[in-house]
Copies of this chain bind each other. A is one copy, B any other.
């Protein structure tokens, strides 16, 4: 059984280890890349595909790209988006040509958000929010899927390279709408290579892996195009505050969105599943079960940058010196500071949007 590197939590190891085995992923170790970021160091990033070629590009300062998409549906994003952007920002800082595509075509088809409405939401919220999470506005290239004829034309070609049964094997089902979306995403993922072939890395949640597999399959069938098979980097989901594997808007009281009201978010933290013991006496004696603690998970994944500080809290809590009430207060304070900073940057970035680097299509 493949071992997952996760210094703090082990609750979820089984699911992710299974994924690594089932999907044939590489196990990620923080030493693979220089100056690993918080989520890389903390075992949130846990796997990848073809990571060595990206590490080599970073080391040798060779051209490569990093890419992610924005689905401009809701007026909030979630902590999973935050991890993606942080990884994207990591690669950007380490030399990646960085692309953000706005999946307005998919938002229209899948969620009935008109192209105009999708564009408005992306410009007024999603793009400023992504920048607030750490992307460099001057060095990020944006495009709208609906404007990118090259991607759409490529999708038609890609569709011819894949049979229905192969599609079903990857996605489980194969409704026409899903097929259209998926082959378009293959176009998006490869778009930076249309002009110049180079390695590229796509940071994603595990649920996006089918798109990566499809893209890699298509690349292998277009040998004459000489595309590099895209690399990918997988992070664990931020668990729901009740301890289930993935935070989800279907349980709003257990889910933290960005932005969110400070009082509301602190109340959610207060009601989260912790690893604290039933009585104070027992807690002091046995210490917390940190592995089960969703508040500690928030600190670890999102709120504390400094490893020394996180380790101190871990030891204090694990030993019972710190109560879960005290841990929650720390999380509430840090979350409030994060939200304030995020909201401020969000407002500021709205003014930057008009000067961003959008790809122009004839």
Instruction: Mark A residues whose CB is within 8 Å of B.
Output: 105-106, 108-110, 115, 146-147, 149, 152-153, 155-157, 159-160, 162-164, 167, 173-177, 179-181, 183-184
Contacts and interface: CB of A to CB of B under 8 A. Distances in A.
Nearest to A182: B176
Contacts of A152: 152
Contact of A110 (B146, B155, B160): B160
Contacts of A164: 164, 173-176
Contacts of A181: 156
Contact of A180 (B105, B110, B159): B159
A18 to B, nearest CB: 28
Contacts of A177: 156, 159-160
Contacts of A183: 176, 180
8 contacts: A108-B157, A149-B149, A152-B152, A155-B180, A156-B181, A156-B184, A164-B174, A176-B183
Contacts of A115: 153
Contacts of A155: 180
A107 to B, nearest CB: 10
Most interface-central of A110, A159, A177 (chain B CB within 10 A): A177
Contact of A179 (B105, B147, B173, B179): B179
Contact of A109 (B109, B110, B156): B156
Most interface-central of A174, A180, A184 (chain B CB within 10 A): A180
Given A110-B160, A156-B181, 17 more contacts: A106-B156, A108-B157, A109-B156, A109-B160, A115-B153, A146-B149, A147-B149, A152-B152, A155-B180, A156-B184, A159-B175, A160-B176, A160-B177, A163-B175, A164-B173, A174-B176, A180-B180
Contacts of A110: 160
B162 A176 contact: yes
A147 to B, nearest CB: 8
A105 B156 contact: yes
7 A-B pairs with the lowest CB-CB distances in the bound complex, closest first: A109-B156, A160-B177, A159-B176, A159-B177, A159-B180, A176-B179, A162-B176
Contact of A167 (B147, B163, B167, B176): B176
A153 B110 CA distance: 12
Contacts of A162: 176
A153 B157 CA distance: 17
Contacts of A146: 149, 153
A156 to B, nearest CB: 4
Given A164-B175, A174-B164, A180 B156 contact: yes
A157 B105 CA distance: 9
B159 A179 contact: yes
A329 to B, nearest CB: 47
Nearest to A175: B164
A146 B156 CA distance: 11
Nearest to A181: B156
Contacts of A176: 159-160, 162-164, 167, 174, 179, 183
Contacts of A163: 175-176
A180 B155 CA distance: 9
Nearest to A105: B156
A14 B153 CA distance: 42
A163 to B, nearest CB: 6
Most interface-central of A106, A156, A157, A184 (chain B CB within 10 A): A156
